[in-house]
């Protein structure tokens, strides 16, 4: 799919419906509209990536003192495999670093091998395990905790 150069911008309340719909298309247990709205209200770094009027992706980062925590990131399946996720994650890393974060943390489902490999390509390293962190069709699924030093 050919697209105009993507534009990264802060998410606004006008983006909530589109971001919630995108999240629902990507996840079996998606964030709700309220989760995204709460992140906006809390002052998290909530960003969207667009090409024209098309929503390509989004990212939600919670700054905490000298750390940043990537809470959620997603790219529309139609745009996956074209480097948009890599550019969005690099933007998250750059913004966290510019905001004074010394490291960036995230969780990923143990079963999500594609995401694990993606984060490792960016220099994230596994530092822990959160048991029963994610909802799953049969109970709960563990999460791997990754971090990346930024400074």
Known catalytic membership, residue 67: no
**Given the residues 107, 133, 134, 141, the one annotated as active site:** 107
pLDDT at 78: 95
CA gap 40, 26 in Å, rounded: 21
Exposed e or buried b per residue across 78-94, where buried means at least 16 C-beta atoms within 10 angstroms of its C-beta: ebeeeebbebbbebbbe
Task: Decide if 1 is inside a domain.
Answer: no
Task: Say yes or no to pLDDT of 151 above 90.
Answer: no
Of 4-13, 91-100, 111-120, 121-130, the poorest mean pLDDT is in: 4-13
Mean pLDDT over the full length of the chain: 95
The reply to whether 2 falls in a domain is: no
For the chain, the domain total comes to 1
Residue 46: per-residue pLDDT: 96
CB 75 within 8 A of CB 85: yes
Instruction: Let me know if residue 145 belongs to a domain.
Output: yes
- The CATH number of the domain where 27 resides is what? 3.40.630.30
What was the pLDDT predicted at 4? 62
Residue range of the domain that includes 124? 7-149
Q: Of 20, 8, 10, 3, which is closest to residue 43 (Cα–Cα)?
A: 10
Which residue in the list 119, 133, 141, 149 is annotated as catalytic?
119
Cα 80 to Cα 76, 77, 87, 90: the distances in Å are: 6, 5, 11, 15
133 is catalytic: no
Q: What is the pLDDT of residues 82-113, one digit of tens each?
A: 999 999 999 999 999 999 999 999 999 999 99
Global confidence as pTM: 0.94
Q: Across residues 21-50, what is the average pLDDT?
A: 97
């Amino acid at each position: 799919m050919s697209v105009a150069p993507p534009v990264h911008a802060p998410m606004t309340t006008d983006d909530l419906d589109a971001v919630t719909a995108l999240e629902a298309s990507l996840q079996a247990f998606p964030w709700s509209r309220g989760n995204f709205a709460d992140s906006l209200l809390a002052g998290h770094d909530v960003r969207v990536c667009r090409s024209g009027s098309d929503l390509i992706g989004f990212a939600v980062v919670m700054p905490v003192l000298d750390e940043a925590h990537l809470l959620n990131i997603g790219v529309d399946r139609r745009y996956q495999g074209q480097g948009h996720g890599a550019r969005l994650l690099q933007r998250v890393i750059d913004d966290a670093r510019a905001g004074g974060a010394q490291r960036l943390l995230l969780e990923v489902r143990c079963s999500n091998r594609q995401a694990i490999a993606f984060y490792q390509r960016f220099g994230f390293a596994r530092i822990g395990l959160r048991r029963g962190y994610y909802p799953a069709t049969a109970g709960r699924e563990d999460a791997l905790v990754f971090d990346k030093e930024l400074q």
